[in-house]
Structure 1
């Protein structure tokens, strides 16, 4: 198979460059340094917030390359102490109010988390917040979100709704009944339901970052491991699925690399870029 010359690499984080212990592929930093020498940007793309991504970007020494936060709702360029917004897509506030009111009325047990820029706000501190905080090493602020949205104009990049899988499935069906015009939602885990603006996707983020650099999509590589990565993998010049990805994800990619515990991401960069 003939592969195009790669000029941009975009990679998912969890399950891709992080192993099952949430540690970074130990060979990746070296691969990124080789990419730097060839002036090939390495871009992180994740559902995580900026605070959940900047430390990893610093650990991997990607420099001031963009980071794609909230699956593309917010794209930043720079470092944690000095950055600028390249692009953002916000949840329409009236639709956010409608969703929150419905949850409070019919699903009061659901953990509601609102992400605005670097801020993580939660309606109540519960076990789900503890779990998410332990994964991302972030600490949220507790706030009455209904009151907040009534009183202030808030930039909402994402709502994260968490409960047991059975309840989240019922909530998913409820949100479908609302026929939201400007928002979309999806299950990122069996018990994680995420809501963003309709324009948000890693696929669109890849397009926006490639445009930012003036690079053709045909000369991009995307690496991922999960269902929400499929459109990105399909759009890139070379889509790389991790060995730990579900079969449907593997079928959407040009190539399948090793799994996330066997340095699959760095192996793919060495094999198909360097």
Structure 2
């Protein structure tokens, strides 16, 4: 059996069920992990502010948190001057070109820009409202073109939201443009995430291994979607949720129960906790 010293877990579709409720056994299992000196770290496409409530609920505010799929790794999330462990922003010229394509070809798509702990939007449309309700965050309404042109803030992530069919078309169109520095992936059927090509949860895992001074052979990861595949591949034990697509499951060492069946807690008890 692998001695697990670090667990890196996705959030949506993993520790959260389909009603956005946290795995009911997880807080208790995390307390036992802490007792056994096993670190539990959240990794998500979300912003730092979008993860504070979850980290507080699970009593892991003192742990590092992987935001924007690895573009930003922070610690002491509850503080305004949180510690930055890793920060990787997008290429400004490519952001401008992406904006131009979206305005000309896909004007109905909701564009969301994330920098540090801030969320910027052009308009508070229906998609923004849905995301605000999920994350308990309020975006800053601003002219995104101007914000990027003036390079006032680093851009850690863009999130495009619309109907599934339109997001699928936009993803294909953007990928066909062969952007050298940008990566496009779906976190939901109608959520297209864009980060720098060098950003991934896999790289975040490598950074956390150095931070905790442990070996990759002592790591376990849990996820449910395609943006989780790199970290499932890298960890000693990569665990896919029962609700994950079949293609994602192929990259896992183990498939646990679904997110509606406390699959994360089940995996922790089976593969991490020492009895």
Is this a same-fold pair by TM over 0.5?
yes
* Residues 1:190 and 2:189 are matched in the alignment: yes
Q: Whole-Å Cα distance in 2 between the matches of residues 134 and 26 of structure 1?
A: 21
SS in 1 for 2:128: helix
- In the other structure, the counterpart of 1:269 is 268
Q: CA deviation at 1:135?
A: 1.2
Q: Whole-Å Cα distance in 2 between the matches of residues 204 and 58 of structure 1?
A: 25
* Residues 1:91 and 2:90 are matched in the alignment: yes
Q: CA deviation at 1:241?
A: 1.4
| Number of aligned residues | 272
Q: TM-score with structure 1 length normalisation? A: 0.95
SS in 1 for 2:259: coil
Q: Whole-Å Cα distance in 2 between the matches of residues 258 and 151 of structure 1?
A: 47
Contact 2:65 2:77 survives alignment (8 Å): no
- In the other structure, the counterpart of 2:163 is 164
Contact 1:220 1:237 survives alignment (8 Å): yes
* Stretch deviating more after TM superposition (185-194 or 34-43): 185-194
Q: CA deviation at 1:245?
A: 1.6
Q: Whole-Å Cα distance in 1 between the matches of residues 126 and 47 of structure 2?
A: 20
- In the other structure, the counterpart of 2:145 is 146
Contact 1:116 1:156 survives alignment (8 Å): yes
Q: Whole-Å Cα distance in 2 between the matches of residues 262 and 191 of structure 1?
A: 24
- In the other structure, the counterpart of 1:176 is 175
Contact 2:9 2:222 survives alignment (8 Å): yes
Q: CA deviation at 1:62?
A: 1.4
What do residues 18-63 of structure 1 show as CA deviations (whole Å, max 9, x unaligned)?
1111111111111111111121110000011111111101110014
Q: Whole-Å Cα distance in 2 between the matches of residues 155 and 60 of structure 1?
A: 29
Q: Whole-Å Cα distance in 1 between the matches of residues 167 and 242 of structure 2?
A: 28
Q: CA deviation at 1:144?
A: 0.9
Q: Whole-Å Cα distance in 1 between the matches of residues 246 and 152 of structure 2?
A: 43
Q: CA deviation at 1:170?
A: 2.4
Q: Whole-Å Cα distance in 1 between the matches of residues 258 and 48 of structure 2?
A: 26
Q: TM-score with structure 2 length normalisation? A: 0.95
Contact 2:201 2:231 survives alignment (8 Å): yes
What do residues 79-131 of structure 1 show as CA deviations (whole Å, max 9, x unaligned)?
32252000011001111111112211222211110000111000122111111
Structure 2: tracts of 5 or more residues without a match:
none
Contact 2:221 2:238 survives alignment (8 Å): yes
Q: Whole-Å Cα distance in 2 between the matches of residues 248 and 167 of structure 1?
A: 22
Runs of 4+ in 1 over 6 A off after TM superposition: none
